[in-house]
Amino acid sequence: MIQIRQFGWADYDGVTEVWRSAGRDVLPRAELAAKLTRDPQLFLVAERDDIVAGVVLGTFDGRRGWILRLAVDPAHRRGGIASRLVAELETRFAALGCPRVNLLVMPDNVEALRFWQRLGYLPLPDVLCSKPIGTT
Ligand SMILES: CC(C)(COP(=O)(O)OP(=O)(O)OC[C@H]1O[C@@H](n2cnc3c(N)ncnc32)[C@H](O)[C@@H]1OP(=O)(O)O)[C@@H](O)C(=O)NCCC(=O)NCCS
């Protein structure tokens, strides 16, 4: 049975394993702790038989929601876990009054693009620009 619920620190090792198994960077504890001071209800795990099988991290800036770091353990894919994580996150965004949700996908991540389009997330032509602030 799969349970979708809010992350707790006891899940951290399981979450890092899922991120690693999916080839995603691991969010360090300090960065995660800072995020959790803002909207902890938007960091979700999927638990199957007491094991963390999937994870998604949402953020809300007061205007837009963002979905980050979605990953499902390869052994648990194509069973609807990511869809359920995103559905629960969307419910939580809606409860915050969030009208639109964005996310970034690497252009060569064809499988993820298929997944997102199946859920109604359509590509836009915008280019991501980024700059580190406060570093020397
Ligand atoms: C993308 C990912 C999160 C999908 O997780 P999942 O739990 O397997 O997804 P779901 O079972 O909910 O899939 C729902 C639908 O999305 C589509 N989909 C999912 N994975 C797909 C794939 N590899 N190829 C094509 N379509 C896919 C299918 O339409 C699927 O429905 P179906 O299984 O009935 O055909 C998972 O493959 C993953 O962790 N990938 C590596 C990390 C990553 O790329 N994350 C996203 C970064 S933006």
The per-residue pLDDT for 65 is: 98
Q: Where are the domains of the chain?
A: 2-118
Nearest to 101 by CA among 81, 84, 86: 86
From ligand 1's centre to the CA of 77, what distance in Å?
A: 7
Q: Which residue, judged by its Cα, is nearest atom 15 of ligand 1?
A: 115
The domain defined by 2-118 folds into: Aminopeptidase (3.40.630)
| Mean pLDDT value across residues 18-42 | 96
**Alpha helices of the chain — where are they, by DSSP H?**
12-21, 29-36, 81-95, 110-118
Percent of the chain with pLDDT strictly greater than 90: 98
52-81 confidence digits (pLDDT tens): 999 999 999 999 999 999 999 999 999 999
From ligand 1's centre to the CA of 54, what distance in Å?
A: 11
The per-residue pLDDT for 136 is: 61
Percent of the chain with pLDDT strictly greater than 70: 99
Which atom of ligand 1 is found nearest the CA of 84?
A: 12
The per-residue pLDDT for 17 is: 98
